[in-house]
Structures are given as C-alpha cells and as structure tokens.
Amino acid sequence: MIEAYLIHILILICIYIVLAVSLDLTVGFAGMLNMGHVAFFGIGAYTSALLTLGGTPFLPALIAGAIMAGIAGFVLSLPTTKLKGDYLAVATLGFAFIIESVLKNWVSLTRGPLGLPGIPRPEFFGITVSSQLGYLIFSAVVMAICVFLIVRVEKSPFGRMLEATRDDEVAASTLGKDVYKTKAIALTVSAFFAGIAGSLYAHYISFIDPTTFSLLEVILLFSIIIVGGLGSSKGAIVGAIILLILPEPLRFLGFPSSIVGPARQILYALILLLILYFRPKGIFGRVELGES
C-alpha cells in the first residue's frame, strides 16, 4: 500500500519534471512569460486519450499528442511573439482559458465536464505497461529522453541565442538574429514536450476531465520553476521534486479532505512568496523573473 503510494508520487514527479523543464525553455531561456503551458499539457492528454480510445495504438497516439500540442504552440506564437512581459503573460493565459473552455464545451468530442474515462494503459511492441512499477519505469525513461533532448537544445548555440533574446531582444536582432522566429520555435518545442507529459498523465490516471488542466496548474508549474530557479533544467527538476513531495504530509495530519485541497494551494503560495523574498533567483537559478 505504502509502496503503491510512493510509486504514484514518483510517476507524478516524472510527468511534472517534463512539464517544468519544457516550461523553463520558454520562461527561463527565451524569457517569455508563458502562462499557457497547461493548455498544451491538456491538448497532449486529450489527443492521446481520444486516439487510443478510438483504437489507435499507444505510441502513435503519444506522438500525435505531442505534435498537436506543438502545432497549438506554433499557432499561439503567431500573434504573441511580438508581445513582451506582462502582455505576453495575459495573452497566453487567455489561450489557456480558451483551451479549457473548448475542452468543457466541445461535448461531442471531449464529453465536456464528464471527462474521458477508461483510457487504456500503454501498449507497444507487444508489452502492456499495466503494473504501477512498470509505468514508473516507462515514465522515467520518457522523462529522461525528454530532459536529455531539451538540455541538449539549451546547451547548444540555439540555446545561447534564446538567452540572448531573453536578455536583450533589440541587441540580438541587431546582431542578425531573427528573434521572432527564435521565440516561435521555443514556444513550439516547449508545447511539444508538454504534449508528451499530457499523454503520460492521461494514460497513467486513465481518466481526464477539463479541471485537470485548469489555471491552478499554471500556479503549480510556475512555483516549480521559480523555486528551482529559472534558466536551469537542474532547478526545474529539483523544483518539481520539492513541490510535489512537500504537500504530501498534509494527507497524514488527519484533516478532512475539504481542508487538504486548499491547504495545498496555500502551501504552494507560501513557498513561492518565501523563495521570492529570500532567494529571488531560486535554488539553482541565474536569472530573475521579468528582469529584462
């Protein structure tokens, strides 16, 4: 029982590491206040879930979820790459609202608030990942691949160009860098990986509904990357581990569940405030939020 609980937390940590590291590519590296990450998470989850429920094998569904999220990221980049700071935050937040609303109201496709039950566990090359432990291994492998790829991009000359765009867009463009294209790619790639996380989540929990991808998730994701430190994938990983484990003891204090939920949110907010007050660059961070 305890073992299953621990494995459950570890699987969620793997999924949130993918989400946080990919979000940091836009927020920490490209300097874009991207509040729409949860929408890509949702698009990946719904695409992958709907496809497998319709009979598509798992792996193509996972990839389709990532591609759909990537396309959504690219579409969002078209009107928003010229926006800066708070304006971009509001625009991307609006996008998250729209996606949540579509998931709620496109009942013929998504079943709306009823959600999608019975999403099958992954099955590929003749193996069905049905046990908890199996799913942990599977999600750890996917997480490792995603983190490896994202870190590779961040440490490349393209990553340096992202950082230049973050620090000073005008200077980067006078050096001949196409900053709008760079930011569009960052948002697309970041969304692509959020889509993978969405698929991992849907096939693990086996039930998704629009509330899973609500704006409360945005706050959690931002807490993770701010606590860990912007512009550092190590920070995003450590932040995900800390913020997913920290509220867990609340379960064992014997509070009624009506209090545990809000207490979690209070705890996130408290951690966020403390870190911004005492260590604004986070644990491993190099850059401050909204510095430039």
Binding positions for another protein, 231-260, rule CB under 8 A: 231
- For position 152 contacting another protein by CB under 8 A, the verdict is yes
DSSP state of 31: -
- For position 160 contacting another protein by CB under 8 A, the verdict is yes
Give the DSSP per-residue string, 141-206: HHHHHHHHHHHHHHTSHHHHHHHHHHH-HHHHHHTT--HHHHHHHHHHHHHHHHHHHHHHHHHHHS
- For position 163 contacting another protein by CB under 8 A, the verdict is yes
Shortest Cβ 152–another protein spacing (Å): 5
- For position 132 contacting another protein by CB under 8 A, the verdict is no
- For position 78 contacting another protein by CB under 8 A, the verdict is no
Answer for which of 89, 119, 136, 172 binds another protein (CB under 8 A) is 172
Helix residue ranges per DSSP H, the chain: 2-24, 37-53, 58-80, 85-105, 107-110, 132-154, 157-167, 169-174, 179-205, 215-228, 233-245, 257-278
- For position 145 contacting another protein by CB under 8 A, the verdict is no
- For position 279 contacting another protein by CB under 8 A, the verdict is no
Shortest Cβ 230–another protein spacing (Å): 10
CA distances from 154 to 161, 167, 226, 252, 267 (A): 9, 15, 18, 40, 31
- 48 versus 188: smaller Cβ distance to another protein: 188
Answer for which of 10, 18, 38, 185 binds another protein (CB under 8 A) is 185
Task: For 230, list phi and psi in degrees, rounded to 5.
Answer: -70, 150
Three-point CA angle 131, 133, 134, nearest 5°: 65
- 103 versus 287: smaller Cβ distance to another protein: 287
Answer for which of 17, 179, 220, 236 binds another protein (CB under 8 A) is 179
b/e sequence 260-270, b meaning 16+ C-beta within 10 Å: eeeebeebbee
- 279 versus 286: smaller Cβ distance to another protein: 286
Q: Which stretch binds another protein (CB under 8 A): 69-77, 91-99, 171-179, 271-279?
A: 171-179
Q: Are strands 123-124 and 127-128 parallel, antiparallel or unpaired?
A: antiparallel
- For position 153 contacting another protein by CB under 8 A, the verdict is yes
Interface with another protein: number of residues (CB under 8 A)? 31
Q: How far apart are CA 44 and CA 72, in angstroms?
A: 10
Q: How far apart are CA 227 and CA 216, in angstroms?
A: 17
- For position 228 contacting another protein by CB under 8 A, the verdict is no
- For position 286 contacting another protein by CB under 8 A, the verdict is yes
Shortest Cβ 83–another protein spacing (Å): 17
Q: How far apart are CA 192 and CA 109, in angstroms?
A: 22
Q: Which stretch binds another protein (CB under 8 A): 74-82, 105-113, 177-185, 256-264?
A: 177-185
Which residues, including other chains, have CB under 8 Å from residue 159's CB and lie 6 or more apart?
A: 29, 153
| Interacting residue ranges for another protein, rule: CB under 8 A | 149, 152-153, 155-161, 163-164, 166-168, 170-179, 185, 189, 231, 286-287, 292
